[in-house]
A and B are shown apart, each in its own frame.
Chain A
Amino acid sequence: MKFLVGYSADKGGAEALQLAGLLARSSGGSVVVVTVLPGGWDHPSPARVDVEYVQFLEQHAAKTLSGAKKIAPGDVPAEFHARHAKTASEGLIAAAAEFGADAIVLGSSRKAPMARFQEGVVASEILRSASVPVALAPRGYTPPQGRVARVTCAIASSESSVTLAQKAGEIAAGFHVPLRLATFIVRDRQMYPTGAGYDAENLVANQFREQATAAYQQISAGWPGSDRPELVLGDGRDWKSAVASPDWDPAELLVIGSSHLGGFLRVFVGSNSGKILRHAPVPRMIVPRLAD
């Protein structure tokens, strides 16, 4: 598989590059490091006043890419390119098409807590419009030695989980590792319970658990290969503890479907997928809206 890194000369860029290295090594693939620059005028102008600015951008790109070469993992084939585009997200999506990348890899905004992820402007725009999966490195990410050890796919009880699980199965097969399915259940603790009392919330949670198990069974029954995925339940008082509750291998990759994100991560920031995306302690890969 070919992984395209949206590289910037900061820690987020370095972390994305490390993640891409791990993914490429695990799949026997390669890394394409791309840094996107704004464009100058592409036509003659009086006094050519922006030439020095464009030259500065090119020098900056050369410096950025040589920095990337220094920290790129030595055991993975890598190429380095600069591209001009109006915005970084447009440039990366165009580059992904140009190089035939299987996924775009990005780093986290520096606003995220350590080992968590928060999307910056570029990541949100790419998640909204990319047609290839997008892998995201948590803040402060240092990859484990070796390869991806397991792929976990977050499913809910909805129908689209079947398609998502199959897609995650393909990704796991690409890395030659087992797939695990995960469902996260949050027991909503409100200060004032509904008229039905605190127990009603447990009823809701239990119902959700049953539905998730049913979805798992449906996935499992229709599973094409012999190595059916196992199911793990993450249970907690809030999303943070629910997502943290299963055991996570440091070399794990979490797959999330963006169909749950409604395509607009920022708008549907309260959605469950968005919360899993924020709280997961391992790198995550967002699979674009699947054709249902």
Chain B
Amino acid sequence: MNGAPSLRQRLLRKKPMTNIVDGHGGHDGELKRSITLFQLTMFGVGATIGTGIFFVLSEQVPVAGPGVLISFLLAGITAGLTALCYAEMSSMIPVSGSSYSYAYVTLGEGVAFLVAACLIMEYGISAAAVSVGWSEYLHNLIHNVTGLELPRWMLSAPIVAEGFSLHFGGDGLINLPAAVLVFLCSFLLMRGATESARTNAIMVIIKLSVLVLFIAIAVTAFDPGRLVPFAPHGMTGISAAAGAIFFTYVGLDAVSTAGEEVENPRRNLPLAILLALVIVTTFYVLVALVALGAQPTSEFEGQEAGLATILQNITGSTWPAIVLSAGAVVSVFSVTLIVLYGQTRILFAMSRDGMLPPIFSKVNPHTMSPNANTLIVACCVAAVAAFMPADVLWHLTSMGTLVAFAVVSAGVIVLRYRQPDAPRGFRVPLFPVLPILSIISCLYLISSLSLIVFKLTAIWAFLAAVLYFTYSSRNSALERKDRTQ
């Protein structure tokens, strides 16, 4: 090959499948076909439930009113459709790889870079969002246990979103607990912390228990009259809330990627997605329903540590709020750790492919942990968590995930025509209706997101494009290979 490849060649070049197979199998095949339907369903529930629901109502009830219950269903249906498409995509390549690598192998470097940019929104931005929520519950816990009131300036971001712009004018100067949490988790990651299936299971139990506690207590104050008017802002409000609520279903895709390890994937994969979705949605709807019945719609707006505050108002006692906040603080801490871990590993994979500078794949020779990478991620995520408002972060997470899923759903259709005979461990039913519905529902939810998110996403896309054309496309491992040929 003479000289540099053309732009089109660069965007479409694919990583050979052998690269992704290399070195795999050191686990002695212990995970092969070992996950049962029940376990997989529980993984799905565990990966999905319990971060967003702790925070989402105070943002979305003012938007949709009690109609927020419909928003949960809309977001859930979209999540289910996309998870099914994702499952087919994942089952096409018989070996492990992240969705970034799947895209690189099947759809080419351009799409892989786009998927990675979306994953950074799904992981990096949501890490910041989750830590902002954690900060609220931590403050609630400290206040209820010790009576101490932390100064307002250190509890919330200085930047607020309004229409198309971000400007200073928030209540605080910095969200200090959120930033501290990010650094704390990063420190643990550098020390080699990972989450085992067992810790994961314990965290799921904690999350579900506190939500059950909430439902059980809040239902005692249920007043059906508070559900009327059901949709004060009509369908516009309901769909606007659905877009934002979508992030509470992020994580369901964990089920889709487990295809190769699941017993009888053709049956169990869709069933696990469906079961996990039903369980998660039931929890969300019940929590939202009892919360709506327990206090007037007008009280949700701006309510910090929402679920704990509701319990406190109902019972007049602090202990249920303490239990709930403690559960939230512990489980959200673990979520932050996982999400940050995920973020560093995406960047690691990209750096190994030459798409990012080598510093992201440099590891400490003794702990084998990518410390520089972790530190850079910590600084960026902590800065976002400290200065950006939570609602914008949640919307951005939804945006990134929805774009990625729309791409995956489109990819399923493309590959059915381009590689009709390629082996697929799982095929989406009702092709092509289901992937098309998946794309439509993603686009519908995207269209309901706030204006500022489109602007921020456009800026992000621009920055990512600049990075791709100035660095990644020139330093890609495939580029080096092209040149040596």
Residues of A within 8 A of B (CB): 8-10, 37-62, 82, 84, 86-88, 120-122
State whether A58 touches B23 (Cβ < 8 A). Answer: yes
Q: Is B345 an interface residue (CB 8 A)?
A: yes
B463 contacts chain A at the CB level, 8 A cutoff: no
Are the CB atoms of A8 and B366 closer together than 8 Å? yes
* B422 lies within 8 A of chain A by Cβ: no
Q: With a CB–CB cut-off of 8 A, which chain B residues contact A59? A: 22-23
Which among B26, B250, B255, B349 is the interface contact of A53 at CB below 8 angstroms?
B349
- Which of the listed residues A46, A51, A87 has the most CB atoms from chain B within 10 Å of its own CB? A46
- Cβ B366 vs Cβ A88 within 8 A: yes
Please provide the chain B residues from 173 to 190 with a CB less than 8 Å away from any CB of chain A in the complex. none
Whether B368 contacts A49 by the Cβ 8 Å rule is no
Q: A43-B43, A45-B47 are in contact. Are A51 and B368 (CB under 8 A)?
A: no
Check B368–A37 contact: CB distance below 8 A: yes
Which residues of B come within 8 Å of A, CB atoms? Answer: 20, 22-27, 31, 35, 40, 43, 47, 90, 96-101, 119, 122-123, 191-197, 200, 250-255, 257-258, 261, 338, 341-343, 345-346, 348-349, 352, 361, 365-370
Is there an interface contact between A57 and B368, defined as CB atoms closer than 8 Å? yes
Residues of A contacting B348 in the complex (Cβ-Cβ under 8 angstroms): 52-53, 56
Given contacts A38-B369, A43-B43, whether A50 and B26 have CB atoms under 8 Å apart is: no
Total contacts A to B, CB within 8 angstroms?
125
B26 — nearest CB in chain A belongs to which residue?
A58
B191 → chain A, closest Cβ, in Å?
8
Given contacts A58-B26, A88-B366, contact A46 B97 (CB under 8 A): no
Contacting residue for A44 out of B47, B345, B352, CB 8 A: B47
Q: Cα distance A60–B363 when bound, in Å? A: 11
Distance in Å: Cβ of B41 to nearest Cβ of chain A:
11
| Residues of chain A within 8 A of B352, CB atoms compared | 52, 56
Contact of A50 among B22, B23, B341 (CB under 8 A): B341
Residues in B neighbouring A56, C-beta threshold 8 A: 23, 348, 352, 361
Residue of A44, A60, A82, A122 touching B257 (CB-CB under 8 A): A44
Say yes or no: B255 contacts A47, CB within 8 Å. Answer: no
Residue of B nearest to A60 (CB): B368
User: Given A43-B43, A46-B47, A51–B338 Cβ distance below 8 Å?
Assistant: no
Query: CB distance A46 to B368 under 8 Å?
Result: no
Please report the C-alpha to C-alpha distance between residue A237 and residue B99 in the assembled complex, in whole angstroms: 66
Q: Which residue of A lies closest to B369 (CB)?
A: A38
